[in-house]
Amino acid sequence: MSFAKIGKIGMALVTTLIHQAAFAQYLSDPRAISERLKSDPRVLVVLKAIKDGYYPAPDLNAAARRCIAAASLVSRAPLRLQGDACLRQMVGGLDPLSAYLSEDELQRLLYSPGDGSIGLALKQSDLGAEVVSVIDESPGAKADISVGTLIVAIDGKPTALMPLQDVTSALRGPEGSVVSLELAAAESSEVVRREVRRERIRQTSISARVMDGQLGYVRVTQLGASLANELAEALHLLLILQLQPVKGIIVDMRDCPGGLLHAAIALAAAFLPEDAVVITTASRIEGELTYRARQSDTSSKDFDSSPIFGDKALRAAAQKIPLVVLVNHGTASGAEAVAAALQDTGRAHIIGQATAGIGSVQSVLPMNGHGAIRLTTSVMRSASGRSWNEQGVRPDFPMLQVPRARQGGKTGSDPWIDFAAERLAKR
């Protein structure tokens, strides 16, 4: 899961302001197909959105060539279908996370009530869709699907040539329905078939418990809108309500796929000194923005951080408590931002595996009933200017073995947590 900001493209407004001739150079192929595409207003609107907002500066000629080539493959189809083919390649060819979404796919992205899911976050792979995180106790976890697994086919349809949004859509469906998956484990070429029943996943962001009466354990499963309330409750439990407050906290972000930008900033900021730099973002529209550990920078219209920043005693205790953070290959996007911030400032040791390497922000731009585009519009960096895009956040203490206790969401002894407890004892 990457960060998603919701914006809007006004079809009527944009097409009024832009002269088609201004983009004729990008659609100048002499074949009739390019002339037909010019009459689909979505093409020009999307081309302008890419030109103005995509990060980094795009190659518009290459985008237009992809568009024309895709539309040429369905040259006898109605204009609408040719436009769909054009937009999928024009946008999807920019990077693995950018995509054109049909109106139906947009509604699925917004997760309509009653939809079922199996709890997987994915990225595009040459051989299919690769699992980058699995939600705890989800149908995917119960089916023993783990990070690194390739989804080779869904209901008999190969995924290698399917756009990622089509794969995601195919995994969703009515609650209680069954999806048939053909899977290849990361370390094996053997393909196995699993029947997985979709569920309506109701997921909190934070859970917490006391370990052995001395250490706190905070599990972060996503960076959702409820995170501030849940984190405040967890820290109260561990640091305020205990007769003897815990001596350290393990923050477990394994398989956390990310979520809201301000939730990520607030989670890291809760443990950092006031006004410390958490992350910076860079975009072509807003330039470079710096987010600090203060309430004004950690709140937005979609996220309220006051439960964390409104309690001075809680803030003071959270800033002093020793920390370690657990990450793995399924720790993605916003969760990586949290790990990078706490590592950069020396606030926490990072234990586990290199993270997923998703350091970009995608904006979802609806087109007034004509679908939407999901466009990479900015990148994130840590306080030191470090980017984790593609290479991930590297742990201070690498763990080579995936704990058996985490495979398939099962519980039990976890050597990573044991090692984290040992590190806390030495801090």
Amino acid letter for position 309: F
Q: Which of 301, 304, 295, 286 is nearest to 380 (CA)?
A: 286
Q: Which of 378, 415, 383 is nearest to 57 (CA)?
A: 378
Cross-strand partners of 101: 372
Q: Which of 309, 339, 301, 137 is nearest to 235 (CA)?
A: 309
pTM, entire model: 0.77
359 shares its domain with 378: yes
Residue 2 confidence (pLDDT) above 50: no
Which pLDDT belongs to residue 109? 65
Last residue of a domain, one of 197, 222, 239: 197
Last residue of a domain, one of 157, 177, 197: 197
pLDDT category of residue 19 using cuts at 50, 70 and 90: very low
d(CA 347, CA 47): 43
Average pLDDT score over residue span 248-254: 96
CB hemisphere CA count around 348 (13 angstroms): 29
Q: Which of 80, 74, 78, 83 is nearest to 27 (CA)?
A: 83
Structure tokens at 424: 């806390």
Residue with tokens 């997923």: 356
Q: Which of 268, 248, 249 is nearest to 258 (CA)?
A: 268
Which pLDDT belongs to residue 405? 43
Supply the CATH number for residue 273's domain: 3.90.226.10
Q: What percent of the chain has pLDDT over 70?
A: 88
Any domain includes 192: yes
Average pLDDT score over residue span 264-292: 96
Amino acid letter for position 91: V
Query: How far from 213 is each of 136, 216, 324, 327, CA to CA, in Å?
Result: 25, 8, 17, 24
Any domain includes 102: no
Average pLDDT score over residue span 399-424: 72
Q: What percent of the chain has pLDDT over 90?
A: 60
Which pLDDT belongs to residue 111? 54
Supply the CATH number for residue 187's domain: 2.30.42.10
251 shares its domain with 397: yes
Residue 120 confidence (pLDDT) above 70: yes
Which pLDDT belongs to residue 243? 76
State which H helix or E strand residue 227 sits in: helix 227-235
d(CA 322, CA 247): 7
Which pLDDT belongs to residue 407? 47
Which pLDDT belongs to residue 242? 81
Which pLDDT belongs to residue 108? 65
Which pLDDT belongs to residue 161? 80
pLDDT tens digits along 172-207: 888 999 999 999 986 677 899 999 999 988 778 999
Any domain includes 16: no
Which pLDDT belongs to residue 8? 41
181 shares its domain with 218: no
272 shares its domain with 410: yes
Q: Which residue has the higher pLDDT, 29 or 295?
A: 295
Average pLDDT score over residue span 108-125: 73
Last residue of a domain, one of 131, 163, 197: 197
Domain count, the chain: 2
Task: Return the minimum-mean-pLDDT range out of 4-8, 125-129, 140-144, 391-395.
Answer: 4-8
Structure tokens at 296: 């004004």
**Mean of pLDDT over the chain:** 86
d(CA 211, CA 216): 6
Query: Hey, is 37 helix, strand or coil?
Result: helix
d(CA 167, CA 170): 5
d(CA 415, CA 333): 25
d(CA 151, CA 30): 40
Which pLDDT belongs to residue 368? 84
d(CA 267, CA 271): 8
Yes or no: say if 1 and 133 are a contact pair by the CB < 8 Å rule.
yes
Amino acid letter for position 316: A
Which pLDDT belongs to residue 402? 65
Residue 4 confidence (pLDDT) above 80: no
d(CA 395, CA 352): 6
Any domain includes 272: yes
Average pLDDT score over residue span 244-255: 93
pLDDT category of residue 409 using cuts at 50, 70 and 90: very low
Angle at which helices 79-92 and 60-72 cross, to 10°: 140
Structure tokens at 190: 């053997």
Amino acid letter for position 266: A
Any domain includes 358: yes
pLDDT tens digits along 31-57: 678 888 888 989 989 999 999 999 999
338 shares its domain with 409: yes
Residue 342 confidence (pLDDT) above 80: yes
Identify the domain containing residue 175 by its residue range.
Answer: 115-197
Which range among 123-132, 200-209, 285-294 has the greatest average pLDDT? 285-294
Give me the phi and psi of 267, to 5 degrees please.
-60, -50
213 shares its domain with 327: yes
